[in-house]
Amino acid sequence: MKYRWKKEFEYGMQGMGDLGEWDNWAKSNEQNHRMGPAAFGKFSLAPKQAIKYNTAWLFGLTDAAPNNTFRMQLEYEF
């Protein structure tokens, strides 16, 4: 979920989770779920070229999840 403020900076929330193996889900206290604030954006460099990013600071929602996780993704489009 994100709020589209500017092409270069959008903000919102991001969540990630892990239920376990697809045919054998883990008990709920053993599942890894995280959620937190996130930032997204895209900077145009030249025609048909851009840098895209998304970052998030995720907080653990279950006992199996780490308390804090920082994630970042950077893409070069051409």
Contact criterion met (CB below 8 Å) for 61 and 30: no
pTM tops 0.85, yes or no: no
Q: What value does the mean pLDDT take over residues 36-49?
A: 96
Q: What confidence category does residue 2 fall into, taking pLDDT thresholds of 50, 70 and 90?
A: confident
Distance CA 55, CA 36 (A): 10
Pairing verdict, β 32-46 and 49-60: antiparallel
pLDDT above 90 (res 52): yes
Q: What value does the mean pLDDT take over residues 34-39?
A: 97
Residue type, 74: L
Contact criterion met (CB below 8 Å) for 72 and 57: no
The residue length of the chain stands at 78
